[in-house]
Amino acid sequence: MSSLSSSLDHQLRTLAVEQGFSQIGIAPAVTPTGFHRLLDWLSKGYAADMQWMERRSDAYRHPDSMLPTTRSVIMLAINYHDGSVRQDGPKIARYAWGNADYHDVLKERAKPLVSLIKQHHPGAKCRIVVDTAPLLERDFGRLTGLGWFGKNTMLISRKIGSWFVLAAILTDIELPYDAAEESSYCGTCTRCLDACPTNAFPEPGVLDAGRCISYLTIEQRTEPIPETLRAAIGDWMFGCDICQDVCPWNRFSPHDTVEEFEALPQRNTIDGPALFRMSPDEFEQEFAGTPLSRPGRAGLLRNVAIVLGNRQVTNAEPELIMALSDPEALVRGAAAWALAKMGSTPAFLTLQQRLLDETDDAVRMELRSAIAILSAKQQSNSSATHGDGNRATSDSNQKAENS
């Protein structure tokens, strides 16, 4: 290794800290062992509807697929935990409490490191990768010594826990390399596996994305959330932190995030019904350029409706009734489901009325199912009170069923 490279290595590490990165590690460009795990994971269908992963699976084999002749992979981690305490109410994953999208934040903060490499090696080729390219970032995180794979599939650092996001710089120059993390420090702990409300871990260290709340509420943007998983989603309207919240390695994670990730108070005290009262323009103004824009307005309102249903927020009923006329079928269907949880007579009558007008097949199914649930509830209440069925309710339900 030339003294030039080792001096660059030292300067890169110093600059990374100045740029707000909590950790930096460097590994040679290789085919990570995780590539074969990825193929196995895809073959088992655990990627759910992320067909793009299957389509470009071979590109994950080697960083050369993104930058030909890559020799080194520099991994950078930014802690996003600012110490804010989670409030009661609809919940958002911690990484999205700030105002900025982490892809942009990490790219901007990594750029000076690329400039430094080019000062030392003017012809050097470099590429910054944050999450969207086919690179097994967590594998390279392990190879650079940043951490190990927890049973919750997160990369965990003994220094900063797992509340961090990763960026990579691929470059065709050689640098001094760090030792890979070869050990696991989970021991006999199974807290994350036990705490997952949707049983998304078929085995330790393997995630079935189709059952994970993060996937269901963020990545699955255009489909209804499967009925069987809605109750388990609980309060999570965007992502889920449970398997990190319970991890003992996060107990002492530092609270030294960069300003872009500092929590906005309104992200931790979400007024769910108010989101339904926003016009699409207001929605855009509030969330454009933030992580919460990823599922889109329809995806986010679908999630919020499910949370309101799970929490049985009866004072949200006017907004949910309004949502039955939303232009997006995804929102109308979720609102119908949530109203069934409230169980009020006005909701029941509105659902019946909407069924007469609704044209979307999937929403019609949601409406019918909600009407059936409420009808059964009303009949059982009526029987308890009068010892008899409620004739008017049965008649109007029959009318809706026939529509």
Residue numbers annotated as active site: 131
Q: Measured from the CB atom, is 218 or 324 closer to ligand SF4?
A: 218
- We find the least distance from the C-beta atom of residue 218 to ligand SF4, in angstroms, to be 10
Q: Measured from the CB atom, is 134 or 147 closer to ligand SF4?
A: 147
DSSP sequence for 110-158: HHHHHHHHHHHSTT--EEEE-SSSS--HHHHHHHTTS-EE-TTS-EEBT
DSSP 8-state code for residue 292: G
Q: For strands 91-92 and 236-238, give the pairing.
A: parallel
- We find the least distance from the C-beta atom of residue 346 to ligand SF4, in angstroms, to be 34
| Gap between the Cα atoms of 396 and 287, Å rounded | 41
User: How many CB atoms are located within 10 Å of the residue 145 CB?
Assistant: 20
Tokens of 21: 């990165």
Q: Measured from the CB atom, is 133 or 247 closer to ligand SF4?
A: 247
Distance of CA 188 to the CA centre of its chain: 27
- We find the least distance from the C-beta atom of residue 236 to ligand SF4, in angstroms, to be 7
236 phi and psi, to 5 degrees? -85, 110
- Note whether 330 and 298 are within 8 A (CB): yes
- We find the least distance from the C-beta atom of residue 248 to ligand SF4, in angstroms, to be 6
Tokens of 227: 């009925």
Q: Measured from the CB atom, is 24 or 242 closer to ligand SF4?
A: 242
- We find the least distance from the C-beta atom of residue 79 to ligand SF4, in angstroms, to be 17
76 phi and psi, to 5 degrees? -130, 135
Token pair 């009866």: residue: 314
| Gap between the Cα atoms of 400 and 396, Å rounded | 6
DSSP 8-state code for residue 84: P
Q: Measured from the CB atom, is 195 or 278 closer to ligand SF4?
A: 195
Q: Provide the binding-site residues for ligand SF4, judged by CB under 6 A.
A: 150-152, 156, 186, 189-192, 196, 198, 200, 207, 212-214, 240, 242-243, 246-249
Task: Identify which of 214, 228, 193, 274 has the alpha carbon closest to the alpha carbon of residue 369.
Answer: 228
Q: Measured from the CB atom, is 226 or 248 closer to ligand SF4?
A: 248
- We find the least distance from the C-beta atom of residue 251 to ligand SF4, in angstroms, to be 10
The order of strands in the sheet holding 126-129 is 23-28, 72-79, 164-171, 126-129
Helix (H, G, I), strand (E, B) or coil at 99: coil
